[in-house]
Structure 1
Amino acid sequence: MPKAPKAVVGKSKKVVHPNSRHALYIQKQNNREHRLMKNKAESAIKQEHLQQKLLWYQTNLDSQKSMYTKNEVAELTCTYLERFNDELEQIGIVNSVGNRQTKQHQAREAAIKISKERENHEFDTIGIEVPDLLNGKNLEYFRNWTGEIRFFPNIKLRKSKRSDLKEKTEKIDESEINEELPDYDDCVGNDKDTVNASDDLPDYVDTDTS
């Protein structure tokens, strides 16, 4: 009668001393992976925030305009800053009904107020990053944008400030109007002019996101 095969006993893993060089190397690798995952998550949040902002501007464009002035862009930005007013009002109405001991949607309300405060501060000081609607070619491209993140690099951005509201009339730089931008159809058909959604993209928004 044949003998049963001998069981192979696996080698036990050697315990790593916490103060050894190998332990320090493992800790370094773990810290690097954690940092990369954190940066990737922050980048995804920034891209999503920028996508929502650009979609709002695209939806609220005046179809009759071939280009905007700084004052008109600032007025549109003022409307953008008020986009949560209706939601805040509805939350207030819900919480005012009856004698509620605990308010509803507190976390959402707090997040909106923090976001509004930050955006208004930026608008009053350094300005908010918005699509460049002063450039006619960029405006035309932006109208046809399909909302995909991978086309972000093809959309030119500029700062919009509250001080621009005072500029009712201004002379637009001819070089900005006539600046050549990539054709939308060419960008869609040419993979070299686009980036993948997973690639790192230029940092267009602040680290702090709502």
Structure 2
Amino acid sequence: MPKAPKTVTGKSKKVVHPNSRHATYIQRKINREQRLMKNKAESTIKQEQLQQKLLWYQTNLDSQKSMYTKHELAELTSKYLERFDEELEQIGIVNAVGNRQAKQHQARETAIKLTKERENLEFDTIGIEVPDLINGKNLEYFRNWTGEIRYFPNIKLRKSKRSDLKTSVEEHIDESENTEELPDYVDSLQNEDNDIVSTSDELPDYVDADTS
């Protein structure tokens, strides 16, 4: 009686020992892939946040300006920091209706408050990164920017600080100092110089006697 044909089965996978070098290699590879995915996600979030910021500034540009002063840019940045105030007010109204015990939109409210706290701290200290509107050429390019992320490298950024709000006052003081009248002793020195120049035009009498 003929024997039944043997069925070919796939090779069973070899069990990897958890303390072996191969297991360490596999774990290291998994960790690297997870790290790359995390970095990519964080980079995407940062780019999207920067995009939203730039779009806000572009929407709120003064069409009559060819460039901004540091003071004017700081004023615009102060307005940017208040962009969530209306939303926070609406959330407060909703939560106040009917004396709700469970707050609605609590996660959104918390995220906004944390963002405002961080941005105000940066504005008071190291400054917030904003589009450089003081540079006329950069402002012109930024005004015509299509909003695409791929053009970010073409947009020049700078830091805007709350202390820049005082720059216009200081510049006014500097200008007034430069236009102050000269002290009296300076006028007297100038008058002496004028006298020397005027008297040198006429030769003294003894000089005329010698030359004759």
Fold shared by both chains (TM-score > 0.5): yes
CA 1:158–1:5 in structure 2 vs 1: closer, same or farther (change >3 Å)? farther
Alpha carbon RMSD of aligned pairs, Å?
1.7
Q: How far apart are residue 94 of structure 1 and its match?
A: 0.6
| Structure 2 counterparts to residues 53-202 of structure 1, below 5 A | 53-168=53-168
Distance 1:47 1:131 in 2: 14
SS in 1 for 2:168: coil
Point out the structure with the larger helix share.
2
User: What residue number does 1:39 align with?
Assistant: 39
User: What residue number does 2:15 align with?
Assistant: 15
SS in 2 for 1:130: strand
**Residues 23-68 of structure 1: CA distance to partner in whole angstroms, max 9, x if unpaired?**
0000000000000000000000000000000000000000000000
Q: Are 2:25 and 1:25 aligned?
A: yes
Q: How far apart are residue 101 of structure 1 and its match?
A: 1.3
Number of residue pairs aligned between Structure 1 and Structure 2: 169
Structure 1: unaligned runs, 5 residues or longer: 171-210
Amino acid at match of 1:31: N
Distance 2:89 2:5 in 1: 76
**Residues 107-163 of structure 1: CA distance to partner in whole angstroms, max 9, x if unpaired?**
000000000000000000000000000000000000010000000000000000000
Distance 2:122 2:59 in 1: 23
Structure 2: unaligned runs, 5 residues or longer: 172-212
User: What residue number does 2:191 align with?
Assistant: none
CA 1:5–1:138 in structure 2 vs 1: closer, same or farther (change >3 Å)? farther
Amino acid at match of 1:139: L
Q: TM-score, normalised by structure 2?
A: 0.77
Task: List structure 1 runs of 4+ shifted beyond 4 angstroms.
Answer: none
Amino acid at match of 1:167: T
Q: TM-score, normalised by structure 1?
A: 0.78
CA 1:5–1:140 in structure 2 vs 1: closer, same or farther (change >3 Å)? farther
SS in 1 for 2:130: strand
Question: Taking every aligned residue pair, what percent have the same amino acid on both sides?
Answer: 84
Amino acid at match of 1:11: K
**Residues 150-197 of structure 1: CA distance to partner in whole angstroms, max 9, x if unpaired?**
000000000000000000165xxxxxxxxxxxxxxxxxxxxxxxxxxx
CA 1:69–1:8 in structure 2 vs 1: closer, same or farther (change >3 Å)? same
